[in-house]
Amino acid sequence: MKQLAIPGLDEKYLVYQTSVKVMGLIKMPIDGNPNKTMGLIAHPNKIADFCVSKNGQYLFTCGGADLSVKMWAIDVQPIENAIAFGQQDDNIDQASTASAELSSGLPAIAHIAAIRT
């Protein structure tokens, strides 16, 4: 993992790689919010290494067996959009839970056990 500071933004991000194929971004601080992360398949096999340009606008990845170097433009706006959309979704969920509790008199257990995708 490497910290990414984008000029002009106060927010900080982490660039990460998995053991095979995937590169991604996580908005700091890490708090378990799934909307604050995204990943993509960068190479068909292992990623040997990666680095970020000095201005924080580009990510360079080196493939292992595929012998390629790829240049990726970094755009954090999709993460910001997912965070905003997730907050709207949470507000809707909270309102529907409160409504269910009022109408039935019982806690909305199904809401607590819901799995988000």
Q: What would the pLDDT profile of 1-44 be if each residue is shown by its tens digit?
A: 888 888 888 889 999 999 899 999 999 999 999 999 999 999 99
Note the pTM of the prediction, 2 decimals: 0.67
CA Rg, the chain, in Å? 19
For residue 51, pLDDT beyond 70:
yes
pLDDT at residue 46 in the model: 93
Domain count, the chain: 1
Structural domain span for residue 86: 2-113
Share of the chain above pLDDT 90, in %: 55
Count CB atoms within 10 A of the CB of residue 13.
Answer: 23
